[in-house]
Amino acid sequence: MIQNNPFLESFYKNFGIPAEAQQALLRDAEEVQFSRMEIITWEGNTEQYMYFVLSGTQRSYYVHHDKEITFMFSYEGDVSGIPESFLLQKPSEYYLQALTPSKMIRIHHNTFQQLIENYPSIAKAKSQMVEFVLEGLLKRQKELLCFTAEERFRAFMKRSAHMLQKVPQKYLASYLGISQETFSRFMQSIKI
């Protein structure tokens, strides 16, 4: 059983989860660690866990014509995993990889489903998490479809400049849909 920690306390507060539901959530959760560059979820496997990131940085990516396309990052304080595979219990089209040594708390899908059935506050938290993910995906879709490469770079730097210290530039370039050379050129020429 996982003991309370600052991340979970913040999670409980943000989603209004009462003490009884907190204890139920912790009862079957487990702390896990992943090595640098370790694949957590493989394409074709069904995501069995939802993760709460205690430390480390992870990325989700898709392989298209032997090219890795990064579409999401998670790091300390985030919920992580492959959401559509976890929620729908269907094989993942994506990989989840630890970019740095990572410590997480994970909850199995079956346990999470029972918690949703037994605790309305956890069901509400799930709904809010899905809304948050959807909002982020729509914003990202707008940037990819409507913004120029430079506008995407500038928006990213305003929102997530701290990622430069956590993630290799090749993954950031992939995330932005630009080449590594363009990313490097922007780094040198654009001051944010």
Rounded to whole angstroms, the Cα distance separating 109 from 48 reads 5
8 contacts 76 by C-beta, under 8 angstroms: no
Residue 149 lies in a domain: no
Which residues constitute the domain of residue 110?
Answer: 6-121
Residue 173 lies in a domain: no
**pLDDT confidence of residue 4:** 60
**Span 32-56, average pLDDT:** 97
Is the pTM higher than 0.85?
yes
Using CA of residue 186, residue 187, residue 188, residue 192, what is the dihedral sign? Answer: positive
**pLDDT confidence of residue 3:** 64
* Residue 147: band (very low, low, confident or very high) from pLDDT cuts 50, 70, 90: very high
Residue 162 lies in a domain: no
**pLDDT confidence of residue 13:** 81
pLDDT exceeds 80 at position 7: no
Please indicate whether residue 191 or residue 173 has the higher confidence score (pLDDT). Answer: 173
**Span 103-107, average pLDDT:** 95
Residue 145 lies in a domain: no
Cα dist. 187→69, 73, 123 in Å? 20, 20, 43
* Range in 31-45, 85-99, 124-138, 172-186 with the lowest mean pLDDT: 124-138
Residue 182 lies in a domain: no
Percent above pLDDT 90 for the chain: 74
pLDDT exceeds 60 at position 71: yes
Rounded to whole angstroms, the Cα distance separating 43 from 131 reads 24
pLDDT exceeds 60 at position 87: yes
Number of structural domains (the chain) is 1
**Span 9-21, average pLDDT:** 83
Residue 110 lies in a domain: yes
Rounded to whole angstroms, the Cα distance separating 34 from 98 reads 7
Strand boundaries in 42-182, DSSP class E: 49-55, 57-64, 67-75, 79-80, 95-98, 102-108
CATH number of the domain bearing residue 114 = 2.60.120.10
Q: Which residues pair with 49 in a beta bridge?
A: 108
Residue 137 lies in a domain: no
Residue 101 lies in a domain: yes
